[in-house]
Structure 1
Amino acid sequence: MFVHGLVMDNLSSFYYTLAAPLAQAGFGTVLFDLRGHGLSERPPSGYTPEESALDLVAVLDEIGVTEPVFLLGNSYGGVVAMHAAVQAPERVGGVVLVESAVGGVVGDAWFEDITNTLTVAALGLEFDRTQDQLMALGQRKIAKLAVNANALLNGTTLIDDLGSGAKLDLTQVQCPVLGVYGAESELIGAAAELRERIPSCRLHVVSGLGHTVLREATAELLDVLFDWLPS
């Protein structure tokens, strides 16, 4: 099950990268939009990581998946995935974190930065990271993304909710964890933190890349996944 990142992201980031190759290899795949993103409803509140994790479990319930699943979270999606692993451990068989800052010092700094600076103007960083991909979509889709981002940031409690969620205790995570990070990423410190908090986790660092591992190192990421996931 794939969990995408914040605001300028939705399930399409997996649809065009990992989902098809994994499905073709025989893995069941589930893609969904977090609340307020993509085609999901945009309620005025309910955007804490804990609530997003409950949404994730509700999706599994709705489609009748009762056995433990592997969650793959990109960026903020990894935070949601780890909360799900703590809140509903019987539903999560493993977690893959792609460029995700979760818990501890790195995670606190990341959330503080988001809650203090996340405005429509601050989306420039995310736009720069994905500019080539966005330009390929065409001006109409770029405009739609901007409108949706504005509505999410200014019409919901997203920013407040991100800062009000409970701190994630990584020591409570019982399932296997794989972390994949770009060597040049501002989140590379999260890899060392994962190793400290979850000694059994497996780490893979992609040389020469920053936060765009999912998009720019898809083939390498797939190789790591096929090696790590149970056959």
Structure 2
Amino acid sequence: MAEILANALRFHVQRLPAAETPGSGGAGGAGVPVVFLHGLVVDNLSSFYCPLALPLARAGHEVVLYDLRGHGLSERPPSGYDSGSAVRDLVALLSSLGLDGQPVHLVGNSYGGTLALHTALARPGLVAGLTLLEPPLSGPWVENMVDTLSVAALSLEDSPVPAELSSLRLRKAAKLTAIADALLNRTTLIDDIASGRTFTPADYAAVGCPVLVVCGEHSELVPGAREFVRTASRGTLRILPGLGHDVLKEPGGVLRESVLAHAAAVRRAAGAGALSA
């Protein structure tokens, strides 16, 4: 566990070194760090740790996980929850970690996938590849999420629930509830999400790196994912049967193997590009 100062904020970061494997040397090597971006409000870096982060590190990839601004153990300022600030946070964090001189592979879950795509569009030279897990890409999702978060904010305002959970020694639930209350009622997060721009087909066409999009079979986000892979030149869609928005809970290892294969392909492509440069 570490605290890193970036963009004038303290971020909670965990960094997993790449294990040495027979395939991790040579061109590309472990030289494309995999950086994880989690979802909104009650999510944090821990959701990636066992399903994907450890397997990627064991397969020879350097891994960086961090709590987004205001989430988990990172600092919670009152404002700056728009996508532009998130991109600046990520760029500054990579610089603080000494990783600003090389492209990275971004893995984003849910809203983290949105931020990963914003980063690829704003800083294409920084992103060697994308893995987007259940990414909300369409305008209706944004409207629905804002409505959902607004209702949650009202239910948490001046609520006795965190104190009651603490009295029952349900510390983790109490902590997550308190974080949700602080984010929704004492920051500009909802307004920043509501004012954010939605993606267009032109945005999808502008993404030049290899992209793996993963959705659950029953997810309402599948149509947006299909539109993305129809338009992006290097997009691939994987549908996981029997699941909805909870693809990180996929029990059979299909998600893990799909992400490992894509990460290896991104590393090979980056190595080939370095040799031809």
TM-score, normalised relative to structure 1: 0.87
Of stretches 62-71 and 217-226 in structure 1, the one that deviates more from structure 2 is 217-226
Of stretches 216-225 and 46-55 in structure 1, the one that deviates more from structure 2 is 216-225
The equivalences for 1:1-231 within 5 A come to: 1-65=35-99, 66-102=101-137, 107-119=138-150, 121=152, 139-168=170-199, 169-217=203-251, 219-230=253-264
Query: Residue 199 of structure 1: CA displacement?
Result: 4.1
Shift in CA distance, 155/212, structure 1 to aligned 2, threshold 3 Å: same
Q: 1:116 is matched by which residue type in structure 2?
A: D
Shift in CA distance, 90/213, structure 1 to aligned 2, threshold 3 Å: same
SS of the counterpart of 2:255?
Answer: helix
Question: 2:153 & 2:106 partners in 1: Cα distance?
Answer: 28
CA contact (8 A) 1:50 1:165 kept: no
Question: 2:89 & 2:205 partners in 1: Cα distance?
Answer: 23
CA contact (8 A) 1:120 1:150 kept: no
CA contact (8 A) 1:184 1:210 kept: yes
CA contact (8 A) 2:69 2:86 kept: yes
CA contact (8 A) 1:183 1:205 kept: yes
Normalized per residue, the structure richer in strand is 2
Q: 1:13 is matched by which residue type in structure 2?
A: S
Q: Which runs of 5+ in 1 are unaligned?
A: 125-137
Identity %: 50
CA contact (8 A) 2:108 2:114 kept: yes
Q: 2:82 is matched by which residue type in structure 1?
A: T
SS of the counterpart of 1:30?
Answer: strand
Question: 1:166 & 1:144 partners in 2: Cα distance?
Answer: 31
Q: 1:204 is matched by which residue type in structure 2?
A: R
SS of the counterpart of 2:197?
Answer: coil
Count of matched residue pairs: 214
SS of the counterpart of 1:170?
Answer: helix
TM-score, normalised relative to structure 2: 0.73
Query: Residue 179 of structure 1: CA displacement?
Result: 0.3
Question: 1:13 & 1:3 partners in 2: Cα distance?
Answer: 10
Q: Which runs of 5+ in 2 are unaligned?
A: 1-34, 156-168, 268-277
Of stretches 138-147 and 173-182 in structure 1, the one that deviates more from structure 2 is 138-147
Query: Residue 55 of structure 1: CA displacement?
Result: 0.9
Pick the structure with greater CA Rg: 2
CA contact (8 A) 1:72 1:95 kept: yes
Computed over aligned residues only, the root mean square deviation of the Cα atoms, in angstroms, reads: 1.9
